[in-house]
């Protein structure tokens, strides 16, 4: 990559952000397509979020991604919101126009749905699904699950009030919130368990849930992608269940963001090979390839 006075800037903000594979993904895509862009990781703590956003606008960046914990807070800072971001109340992709206007998008929904379909998850039509967490990523997951036609979504979060708020914001009677203390009860009969929390994220925290209540045909999806086999995935496989990490969701949401910024299609196959090499494994016991 050659950086000069015409290089256009992209990036990702988060707290933490050291684990992100987005810089590798987007910089490879730009190099493959001969685009003079550079994508940077930027550690931004919540109290500095507004200053950081204004700074990126001021220096003429093309856009940026957002990860934990900024997706919800960004909504009020946007000049324009795409319908998906407005509906779910979370922004993970921002495009900055030549006039400095901030356009907020949410590509998590597309990334999650595409990754689930590629994982060949058993039919989720009318299924019961348990989602761990109630933050910005959970909002995208809930919207994606409703798009897939599930029958029931149970939100479980350590701060129950956040789960209750997300259930209400979903606008669907299919979404309910329960206390973490009853997790084992709601896992019974669940066809899909999705983790959207930082549980197991490298350098953050670790932990293993009791998955014994899950039925033998259940599927476990952890949006964490580093390490490639999270503690939750390891527990699922020890239980004889299929499990998948979040690499496919990462790539597909990134591909959509890349298209928003550049107008070009990301070379997904090349990106997948690179990222699988970086995380050190496929992260899937059910298929040979994934795109997140």
For residue 145, what is the domain's CATH number?
3.40.50.720
Strand duo 80-81 + 102-105: pairing: parallel
| Per-block mean pLDDT, blocks of 10 residues, the chain (292 long) | 90 93 96 97 98 97 95 97 92 97 96 91 88 91 94 95 94 94 93 85 56 93 88 92 94 97 97 89 34 27
**Is residue 292 one of the residues assigned to a domain?**
no
- Per-residue pLDDT, 79: 98
Give a yes or no: residue 264 inside a domain.
yes
Backbone φ and ψ of 16, nearest 5°: -85, 175
- From 71, 242, 252, 292, the catalytic residue: 71
Torsions phi, psi of 220, nearest 5?
-115, 125
Domain with 49 in it = 8-107+250-279
If we measure between CA atoms, which residue out of 54, 146, 118, 78 comes closest to residue 255?
118
Give yes or no: residues 149 and 270 share one domain: no
User: Does residue 48 sit within a domain?
Assistant: yes
Q: List phi, psi (to 5°) of 75.
A: -55, -45
Shared-domain flag, residues 17 and 122: no
Q: Is 71 a catalytic residue?
A: yes
| Residue 180 sits in the same domain as residue 74 | no
* Tally of domains within the chain: 2
Question: How far apart are alpha carbons 160 and 90 in whole angstroms?
Answer: 19
> What is the predicted pLDDT for the residue at 131?
97
In a domain, 178, yes or no: yes
pLDDT of the residue at 200: 55
Does residue 186 belong to any structural domain of this protein? yes
| CATH number where 28 lies | 3.40.50.10860
Same domain, yes or no: 118 and 88:
no
pTM for the complete prediction? 0.86
pLDDT given at position 208: 63
Q: Are residues 90 and 117 in the same domain?
A: no
Answer yes or no: is 61 within a domain: yes
219 in a structural domain: yes
pLDDT at 1: 66
Q: Do residues 114 and 241 both lie within one domain?
A: yes
């Amino acid at each position: 990559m050659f950086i000069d006075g015409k290089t256009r800037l992209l990036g990702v903000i988060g707290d933490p952000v050291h684990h992100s594979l987005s810089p590798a993904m987007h910089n490879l895509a730009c190099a493959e397509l001969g685009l003079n862009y550079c994508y940077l990781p930027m550690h931004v703590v919540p109290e500095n979020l507004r200053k950081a956003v204004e700074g990126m606008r001021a220096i003429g960046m093309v856009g940026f991604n957002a990860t934990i914990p900024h997706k919800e807070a960004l909504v009020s800072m946007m000049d324009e919101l795409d319908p998906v971001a407005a509906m779910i109340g979370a922004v993970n992709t921002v495009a900055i126009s030549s006039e400095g206007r901030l356009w907020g998008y949410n590509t998590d929904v597309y990334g999650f749905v595409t990754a689930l379909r590629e994982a060949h998850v058993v039919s989720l039509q009318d299924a019961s699904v348990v989602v761990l967490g109630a933050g910005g990523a959970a909002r995208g997951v809930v919207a994606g699950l409703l798009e897939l036609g599930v029958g029931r979504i149970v939100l479980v979060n350590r701060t129950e009030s956040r789960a209750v708020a997300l259930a209400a914001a979903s606008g669907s009677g299919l979404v309910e919130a329960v206390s973490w203390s009853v997790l084992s009860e709601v896992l019974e009969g669940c066809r899909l368990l999705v983790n959207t929390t930082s549980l197991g994220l490298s350098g953050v925290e670790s932990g293993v849930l009791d998955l014994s209540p899950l039925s033998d045909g259940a599927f476990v999806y952890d949006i964490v992608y580093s390490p490639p086999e999270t503690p939750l995935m390891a527990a699922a496989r020890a239980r004889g269940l299929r499990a998948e990490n979040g690499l496919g969701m990462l790539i597909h949401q990134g591909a959509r963001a890349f298209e928003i910024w550049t107008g070009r299609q990301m070379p997904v196959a090349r990106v997948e090979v690179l990222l699988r090499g970086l995380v050190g494994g496929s992260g899937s016991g059910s298929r040979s390839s994934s795109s997140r």
